[in-house]
Amino acid sequence: MSRYFVVMRGLAAAAAMALLLGLAPAQAGQEDLVENALRAAARTFERALPQLDAVTMGVPTQEYHDALVQRRFASSLWATALDVQLVTNESEQGLCAGFAAYVTPAIQQGAVSLVMCPRFFLPGADALRETTILHEIVHVVAGTDECQAMAFTARIQKLATGSFQPVSEYWTRNKCNASRYRLPN
């Protein structure tokens, strides 16, 4: 099993909680898709990083970098060091009914869980997977604001590649035009 799917600190308790929530470590094929998405997201972020401030749109860029690349970061939001635990949810119910991934709101044994749903693993969804990782890491380090996560992700993609994944429907559904965040031009 890849190091991306194992959090050494509090593993037994985190595994027990994951089983209670119906979550599981990724299977071999899924693990490859997640690792590829993580690498792609890290490359995109690294290209944008020189153009970012220490805090961009309320997202501490060093914490974001560490959470994305090292899966461990010193959280200013939680005032502690945390791991990012990657797990899958095989069910298409609950939060997985509407999302490709989500971050659990609670910290368990020093880790924040980033949960990948069945939609994350759809064939041919490489761009969705990378965008999803970039988006969810915002939630890991900065909180639950969907507009912030979408705007930050779009900015990273725009700085790195000159364009970003279209999110206008999601942006409208979350009433982000009324938020303090804006998508890049």
pLDDT tens, 126-155? 999 999 999 999 999 999 999 999 999 999
The verdict on residue 117 lying in a domain is yes
Whole-model pTM over 0.95: no
Q: Is position 92 within any domain? A: yes
**Alpha carbons 159 and 151: distance in angstroms, whole number:** 12
Q: Has residue 66 been placed in a domain?
A: yes
Position 105 scores a pLDDT of 73
* Highest-pLDDT range among 24-28, 40-44, 110-114: 40-44
Place of tokens 């690294």: 46
The total number of structural domains that make up the chain: 1
Secondary-structure breakdown of the chain: helix, strand, coil percentages, each rounded to the nearest 5:
50, 15, 30
pLDDT at 29: 85
pLDDT (average), residues 146-174: 96
- pLDDT given at position 27: 56
For residue 163, tell me if it sits in a domain. no
> pLDDT tens digit string along 5-16?
332 223 333 333
Alpha carbon distance 27, 153 (integer Å): 27
Q: Which domain does 139 fall in, by range?
A: 3-144
Rounded CA separation 55/34 (Å): 27
